[in-house]
């Protein structure tokens, strides 16, 4: 599964239909199958009726339920009409709202005609020409519809948003904005909202929200769309399901990022004859007088992420803290100053033999000696480079020339802007461009994480809102550093590290809530994240 733009999806879909002789009507039927399954699950009817309910076991899944299906004029509306028929077939009472009919001869019109032919069972109300006063007023629309069909609509258990698909890039307006607000009002009465492909009014390319009704669940087709992951996408889409409509992956654009999930992590099993040296020796160079916690978070996360040995390279005053708080690691004084100065260079050089990877940057401040970073980057060891190490690279262009394929840069958007010399415009494209320029791996943090080595691209949304806290990035640095130390190649270490870090954050949030969790809680949950991953890999 990949992450594509709306235009890429349209092009690959058209090419598939042209080359394989598949009609749009058939793709709509496949989409409706996934939508119907999602509706059943969303309404809690997946295992209904229960065997002890005293009702026939072949009773249709949605008996006694009702739905409002809002259909737009194009293909998205066509999916809605196809779903309306399937809902009716499962014994659901259906009210379909539209504004005019689809273009005659189109696949959407064919689905509409099937619903119209069963008008005694599927009630269709065409709002074209309706006297609504303000067509954008959802409450006025409710009052108008109540006059036509009573208050039953307000008791619907399901609202289906099939107004517009991912290619809508303008704000919702007129009666379509009114229909979106109508769905939101019905949802306030307890209805669940199911969006077809994308909530109408959410930009499929950027994730900008221009009046979308937030969905409880969104079913998209074949590939995820960028707007579902960026901007307001994750908040507005709710649970996001990608339904396969039978288009082979070969039709996806070569430059579309591959979407990764926690189940894609495949940590190797450990052998019984292994020892601590088998799993590498990580040297962290992190922390300062003002940022002791950054060093501690980096070290403790590396230990929890499986590094066989961890040596914490630190300023002198942090050594007692690290020895006391992370006794499983070794604390090595690199200098006596409150930040890493030039005196740390020779001690760091002496510490490099026997190490298998480096984690550089958290809390080291921009006052750290560039000469130290130059030594570490030119050591030939795999390294994850974060925080102030990235800022030093931005301030000292000569350091950029030392970057190579064994280095993983992990900037947030602000650090990325300093490296690029401009604000981030397109996260996926910018990550790829910087990776290609520097010949390294780039992991650009954000609500969706973009990873690239310049030729291969990954995208994921592993995090949760509770991870928006100080120190979260320091934990990620330790995790990726530990994976590098164990011999995992840099692109994979970056991707797996982000997924495991995100899963640990999700576990912490489920235990403590999104307000109260902090970065230390992510470290605490790393063992559970690793165990989940390894259990999934064995299935």
Binding-site positions for K(+) read: 76, 161, 200
Residues 98 and 102: their CA atoms lie apart, in Å, by 9
Write out the binding residues for AMP: 445-449, 473
Distance CA 464, CA 213 (A): 21
Q: Supply angle C-alpha 343, 345, 346, rounded to 5.
A: 90
Burial grade of 520 (CB within 10 A; 0-12, 13-18, 19 or more):
middle
Q: Cβ of 419: how many Cβ atoms within 10 Å?
A: 21
Compute the radius of gyration of the chain from its Cα atoms: 27
Binding site as annotated, residues: 75-79, 161, 165-171, 197, 200, 294, 363, 412, 445-449, 473-474
Q: For residue 429, count other CB atoms closer than 10 A to its CB.
A: 15
Structure-token pair, residue 232:
């307001």
Give the three-state DSSP class for 93. Answer: strand
CA distances, 527 to each of 74, 281, 306, 506 (Å):
48, 19, 9, 13
Query: Any idea what the Cα angle at residue 490 is, between residues 489 and 492, rounded to 5°?
Result: 70
Quote the tokens at residue 509: 């949030």
- H/E/C letters for each residue in 272-305? CCCCHHHHCEEEEECCCCCCHHHHHHHHHHHHHC
Rounded CA separation 205/229 (Å):
9
**Burial per residue of 326-363, b for 16 or more beta-carbon CB atoms within 10 angstroms, e otherwise:** beebbbbebbebebbbeebbeebeebeeebbbbbbbbb
Token duo for residue 531: 């165990």
Reference 160, options 217, 207, 230; nearest CA is 217
Give binding residues for (6S)-NADPHX as ranges. 75-79, 165-171, 197, 294, 363, 412, 474
């Amino acid at each position: 599964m990949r992450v594509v733009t709306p235009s890429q999806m349209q092009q690959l879909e058209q090419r598939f239909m042209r080359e394989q002789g598949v009609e749009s009507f058939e793709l709509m039927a496949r989409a409706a199958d996934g939508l119907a399954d999602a509706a059943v699950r969303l309404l809690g009817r997946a295992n209904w009726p229960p065997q002890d309910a005293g009702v026939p076991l072949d009773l249709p899944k949605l008996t006694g339920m009702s739905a409002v299906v809002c259909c737009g004029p194009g293909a998205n509306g066509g999916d809605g009409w196809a779903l309306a028929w399937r809902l009716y077939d499962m014994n659901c009472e259906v009210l379909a709202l539209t504004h005019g009919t689809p273009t005659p001869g189109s696949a959407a019109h064919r689905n509409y005609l099937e619903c119209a032919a069963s008008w005694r069972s599927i009630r269709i109300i065409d709002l074209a020409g309706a006297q609504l006063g303000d067509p954008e007023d959802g409450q006025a629309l409710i009052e108008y519809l109540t006059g036509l069909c009573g208050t039953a609509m307000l008791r619907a258990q399901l609202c289906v948003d099939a107004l517009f698909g991912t290619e809508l890039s303008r704000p919702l307006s007129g009666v379509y904005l009114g229909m979106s607000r109508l769905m939101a009002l019905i949802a306030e009465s307890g209805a669940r909202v199911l969006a077809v492909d994308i909530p109408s009014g959410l930009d499929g390319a950027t994730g900008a929200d221009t009046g979308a009704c937030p969905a409880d669940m969104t079913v998209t087709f074949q590939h995820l769309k960028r707007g579902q992951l960026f901007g307001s996408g994750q908040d507005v889409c709710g649970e996001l399901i990608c339904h396969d409509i039978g288009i082979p992956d070969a039709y996806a654009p070569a430059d579309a990022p591959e979407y990764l999930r926690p189940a894609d992590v495949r940590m190797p099993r450990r052998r019984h004859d292994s020892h601590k040296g088998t799993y590498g020796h990580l040297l962290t160079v992190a922390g300062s007088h003002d940022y002791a916690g950054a060093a501690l978070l980096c070290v403790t996360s590396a230990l929890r992420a499986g590094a066989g040995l961890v040596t914490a390279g630190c300023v002198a005053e942090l050594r007692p803290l690290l020895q006391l708080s992370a006794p499983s690691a070794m604390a090595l004084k690199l200098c006596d100053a409150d930040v890493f100065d030039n005196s740390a260079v020779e001690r760091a050089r002496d510490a490099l033999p026997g190490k298998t990877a480096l984690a550089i940057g958290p809390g080291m401040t921009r006052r750290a000696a560039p000469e130290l970073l130059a030594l570490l980057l030119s050591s030939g060891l795999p390294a994850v480079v974060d925080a102030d190490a990235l800022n030093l690279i931005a301030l000292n262009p000569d350091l950029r020339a030392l970057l190579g394929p064994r280095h993983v840069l992990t900037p947030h958007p602000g650090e990325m802007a300093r490296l690029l010399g401009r604000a981030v415009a397109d996260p996926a494209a910018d990550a790829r461009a910087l990776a290609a320029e520097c010949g390294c791996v780039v992991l650009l943090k954000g609500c969706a994480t973009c990873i690239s080595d310049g030729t291969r691209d990954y995208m994921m949304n592993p995090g949760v809102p509770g991870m928006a806290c100080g120190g979260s990035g320091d934990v990620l640095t330790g995790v990726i550093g530990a994976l590098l130390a164990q011999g995992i190649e840099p692109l994979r270490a970056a991707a797996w590290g982000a997924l495991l870090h995100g899963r640990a954050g999700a576990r912490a949030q489920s235990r403590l809530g999104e307000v109260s969790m902090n970065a230390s809680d992510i470290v605490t949950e790393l063992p559970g994240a690793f165990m989940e991953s390894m259990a999934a890999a064995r299935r």
